Amino acid sequence: MKISSPAFQEGGTVPEKFSKNGQNINPELRIEGTPTEAKSLALIVDDPDAPVGLFTHWLVWNIDPKTTQIAEGSAPNGGVQGKNDFGEIGYGGPQPPSGTHRYYFKIFALNGALDLKPGAKRKDIDAAMKSHVIAQGQLIGKYSKK
């Protein structure tokens, strides 16, 4: 599987527009190579460089496996959103306290849907996805404190 964005290249800089300092909207994402046997997709955006450890910026699951694009500033159709580590449901853009951080946009193809309520937290999604991932891809972008 592959996930990409026309907003930035792999390893490139996430534009300020998509940060908490900007418009705090998600960049357009494109998904390719989803296995035909996938029953749903999950998207996780996180920052492993946060002072507190792994910081989750966006959780979405039960995305239609036929999805090939997530539009800028919008959640995927049919997807259920969880609570990010800002304590908000939905996307929370980069906002590193210092230095440059890496932001991982991860897509997972699952062999079923996840039975989780909106607002679920990362530990719940991780536990529910365990042993259900059949393929995955990731895109890494960087963002520096402004």
Q: 24-61 pLDDT, tens per residue? A: 999 999 999 999 999 999 999 999 999 999 999 999 99
Q: 23-33 pLDDT, tens per residue? A: 999 999 999 99
Enter the pTM of the model.
0.97
Question: Is the Cβ–Cβ distance between 76 and 24 less than 8 Å?
Answer: no
Please tell me the distance from the alpha carbon of residue 105 to that of residue 117, in angstroms, as a whole number.
Answer: 22
Domains of the chain in start order, with CATH, are 2-144 (3.90.280.10)
Burial class (CB in 10 A: 0-12, 13-18, 19+), 2: middle
Q: 82-122 pLDDT, tens per residue? A: 999 999 999 999 999 999 999 999 999 999 999 999 999 99
